[in-house]
Structure 1
């Protein structure tokens, strides 16, 4: 009897362990209805910092040509980039603190206009950021000087009204002021600076042309809250930066959900809602995103698969927060200003490395391409507003502007997992399947926009095997309606020739052709007995 009990216990333990192993290798994601109200508006797309230096004197002297410009801008077109953040400095356009003399013909300003030309011609939303160094380094001794705000309003008027750069939709004043302007001059001076800008835009009659955005917090949480409380009456949009640790995105080794990336992002929607009674009508933008541990000019992991998977996971998590865009740092490597400052954070490398593509350009490129501007985010397993449990498996879903689904799945473990995705309604078309893993960059070294590796049949429940350390994207295919194969004399477009077509002809008797219909079947310029004869022949046959 004792031997029998022992055997039963062993069998039970084996079954339990086996079942636990199976459970550990499967996860379900329930996708809710896409909801712009829940997410405070539509998603503005993923983008990157694209600062206007490629055609300044420094880079031209290093051999940059129009061919390099064409290569770089074609990549933005290929990705269908819909939003960028662009640096500006008042002292690029004037060295006169009294703002009487302006120079828009310097090579730096020509480079600015080249970027803005491209952005506006390609319908790219621009978040223009005056870095604020005209206060810290050159024109003015203090940010409270009203001429600083007046100067910004003057060049913005030049940009939008005189040069037609209407793609400039947002204005930020002071990059990471908690690390620069506010840190040096204090919070009162920072507030006065912003109010001066607001007043100058109003005086110039252009306040309605841009959304005044801030506070561009670089990491000091107390500054973010204080700035929102002080400036809520003039700020149209809120923004902040977050360089997240690998443990934040992956959730490995965290003590609790409060340390997860989701919590560190979505918390700011709750905070601005608490401080600003009108916050429900204001967007919340993440205007710099990346991996922590880097310096101003570079990151030790920028060339690695680990950085690429981090950025894929970061973007996927962002899509289930109440944030309206994610701007990566940066678009591509380039020399900043006119010295030796080389910015080495890009999705692709500089000219001396043949503009070669980094792994994270491919993974983040999938987010840019398949969660475009105008998409509507969908909740996942009740998130938001429910805080997601810590997990190494992450998912997001959006309805794109074309009405099709894009689904994003991340597996941070080293083992394959079965992911079940339950959609609220069955998709209309099959999905193209894209995969980024450790083999992708070697397989497609020169392709920024990755090709699909297969298809997934359309169904409201999708059961997928996601390999370890990988990023999978499902993009519902766009279908083009096929023309009617044989109903060549179909008048009303229902792919049939019947009495309904005759009624349309009678209604339009002796007129010219019908609007949006093909009534003149004989091409003689009017609806008459010959068109009826054509229909009759089809009906008889």
Structure 2
């Protein structure tokens, strides 16, 4: 292995080169940052390229934090660049944890080949401080709706709940009834579902199909739930364990067209409204050696399959994770962008300063879309918060009440900024094919399907919103207090992440005045129509139908307790809700 300073085409860069005689590892350059301020935001950027990468992830940058004993307590990394000679701008963002003693800025290469790094840039922004002096927070509901209506709020349900992996653990009809009852109560309007290519094309030849495997039958029962509810589903491909899955683009596209037609026409699942090629293409797809030209070609071919088969399916584009490089390429490539109907990304961040980082990543994407003459709607297709214990399939921090607060705060911030759909990862703890997934809103059977605190926050968002709702952004004075957003002229979601109470005053209710039927509930003649605030705090009844503690607004004011969240609705709204058994959010 060699490392050093190089120059090519007038650009000086640092290089890490790993020959075939050396086993792939993670060699890196390290710059240490001391005198850290907890809560400060570190933005580390660089130009990265990797002309050749084999057997590894490629070149990328990281921001890491160590405690006083030298143990790593947090890490954020950029996009990974592999088999790309052109310079790619990448960024790693991280908030300084409270117990961080030292920060590391790292230039990393993983694999055989070469990683190149140029023009590194560091910016440290001061912490965001809560406003502890104010007693009142005034929420101003914007009079006019923001652009774009809601596509839906829902979750990842990867469809394997009814398969052999779960039945072997004793999961049966009584358990599935609990699951389906909770889904009906939540009334999602957007569900994302993995379809592993091996489940329906076991050989990987794109020609020999088996639509009656145990895993596919499990998917069908899952789809039946959403078909009954009128809930749109995103079919998302995953290629685990396949060798060269995208080596024959025409065959691949024809097979995907066959899958979609089988689901929609032969099985009758008209709830299948969206399709995504592959999960997080800036990960597996790029690391495997496929380039963006192949990515664009596959989407063009599948779009043609959808047209030829006359299927009502829109393509969800990008579906990248974290860094903006891949997303920006998808948006600026006119041919690729024209094949898409929706754009999406995934966000997973360390809990310290999490929503500040998410806002930054979200703003970068929305700004890129705003430059287009025809901005497509943007959906957060996966998101979550992590700590040093988190892995790709386990996330103990989801057991905390903080996770519920962060989740509500992120959804409110996202809606205010322009996101028009959310899918949280994921619905419930479940066994994937031979792998346990522990990122759910409730635990597995061995813990009696116990609810996690985030379930209550997310179910409020899914129950009280509808596909097609208008979004009414809210500003709050003073800043550093509560956050809020209006949805559908009938509900205001709010969160108080601060460790003190505020009197919350709502301004703008006169024009924010319709219930689910479109009937005006506030007008000039009846300005004091009864509104109720529903409040969630850390300790509340463990009931999967719990709606929050109801408090009537007086003069359009209520007190938001420390570290609480909830929603404001007309008093009669929840009394008139459809039952969970009959709920359905609309026709397909």
Q: TM-score, normalised by structure 1?
A: 0.74
Superposed counterparts of 1:493-512, under 5 Å: none
Q: State whether structure 2 residue 312 is matched by structure 1 residue 227.
A: no
Structure 2 residue runs of 5 or longer lacking an equivalent are 1-130, 514-520, 522-528, 577-588
> Which structure shows the bigger proportion of residues in strand conformation?
2
Superposed counterparts of 1:476-495, under 5 Å: 476-478=570-572
Pair member with larger Rg = 1
Task: Return the alpha-carbon distance in structure 2 between the equivalents of residues 141 and 454 of structure 1.
Answer: 53
Aligned to 2:141: 31
4+ long deviations beyond 6 Å: 479-482
Answer yes or no: is the 8 Å Cα contact 2:349–2:357 preserved in 1: no
Taking structure 1 as reference, are residues 389 and 182 closer, same or farther at Cα in structure 2, changes over 3 Å only? farther
Answer yes or no: is the 8 Å Cα contact 1:96–1:139 preserved in 2: no
Aligned to 1:425: 510
Superposed counterparts of 1:132-281, under 5 Å: 132-133=239-240, 137-138=241-242, 140-185=244-289, 186-206=291-311, 209-230=312-333, 231-248=336-353, 259=356, 261-274=358-371, 276-279=372-375
Aligned to 2:536: 436
Match of 1:295 among 387, 391, 401: 391
Answer yes or no: is the 8 Å Cα contact 1:182–1:190 preserved in 2: no
Post-superposition offset of 1:107 = 0.7
Match of 2:560 among 449, 466, 480: 466
Answer yes or no: is the 8 Å Cα contact 2:347–2:358 preserved in 1: no
Post-superposition offset of 1:288 = 0.5
- 1:484-532 CA-to-partner distances (Å, cap 9, x unmatched) read xxxxxxxxxxxxxxxxxxxxxxxxxxxxxxxxxxxxxxxxxxxxxxxxx
Aligned to 1:405: 490
RMSD: 2.5
Post-superposition offset of 1:285 = 0.8
Task: Return the alpha-carbon distance in structure 1 between the equivalents of residues 304 and 574 of structure 2.
Answer: 51
3-state SS in 1 of match to 2:211 = coil
Task: Return the alpha-carbon distance in structure 1 between the equivalents of residues 531 and 209 of structure 2.
Answer: 53
Aligned to 2:115: none
How many residues align? The count is 426
Task: Return the alpha-carbon distance in structure 2 between the equivalents of residues 184 and 234 of structure 1.
Answer: 23
Match of 1:80 among 187, 196, 206: 187
Taking structure 1 as reference, are residues 87 and 464 closer, same or farther at Cα in structure 2, changes over 3 Å only? same
Task: Return the alpha-carbon distance in structure 1 between the equivalents of residues 323 and 287 of structure 2.
Answer: 10
Answer yes or no: is the 8 Å Cα contact 1:366–1:449 preserved in 2: no
Task: Return the alpha-carbon distance in structure 2 between the equivalents of residues 437 and 291 of structure 1.
Answer: 20
Answer yes or no: is the 8 Å Cα contact 2:532–2:553 preserved in 1: no
Task: Return the alpha-carbon distance in structure 2 between the equivalents of residues 475 and 481 of structure 1.
Answer: 11
- 1:240-288 CA-to-partner distances (Å, cap 9, x unmatched) read 11124444456xxxxxxxx5543432332220232x3222xx2211100
Aligned to 2:209: 102
Taking structure 1 as reference, are residues 464 and 262 closer, same or farther at Cα in structure 2, changes over 3 Å only? farther
Post-superposition offset of 1:389 = 9.0
3-state SS in 2 of match to 1:262 = helix
Answer yes or no: is the 8 Å Cα contact 1:299–1:344 preserved in 2: yes
Answer yes or no: is the 8 Å Cα contact 1:433–1:473 preserved in 2: yes
Taking structure 1 as reference, are residues 211 and 456 closer, same or farther at Cα in structure 2, changes over 3 Å only? same
Task: Return the alpha-carbon distance in structure 2 between the equivalents of residues 265 and 469 of structure 1.
Answer: 24
Aligned to 1:13: none
Aligned to 2:167: 60
- 1:343-392 CA-to-partner distances (Å, cap 9, x unmatched) read 1111111111111111111122222222333321102139xxxxx99624
Aligned to 1:8: none
Task: Return the alpha-carbon distance in structure 1 between the equivalents of residues 313 and 349 of structure 2.
Answer: 29
Post-superposition offset of 1:159 = 0.6
3-state SS in 2 of match to 1:365 = helix
Taking structure 1 as reference, are residues 481 and 345 closer, same or farther at Cα in structure 2, changes over 3 Å only? closer
Task: Return the alpha-carbon distance in structure 2 between the equivalents of residues 131 and 141 of structure 1.
Answer: 10
3-state SS in 2 of match to 1:43 = coil
Answer yes or no: is the 8 Å Cα contact 2:536–2:566 preserved in 1: yes
Answer yes or no: is the 8 Å Cα contact 1:398–1:406 preserved in 2: yes
- 1:158-205 CA-to-partner distances (Å, cap 9, x unmatched) read 111111111111111110010110232232222222223223333433
Taking structure 1 as reference, are residues 273 and 316 closer, same or farther at Cα in structure 2, changes over 3 Å only? closer
3-state SS in 2 of match to 1:193 = helix
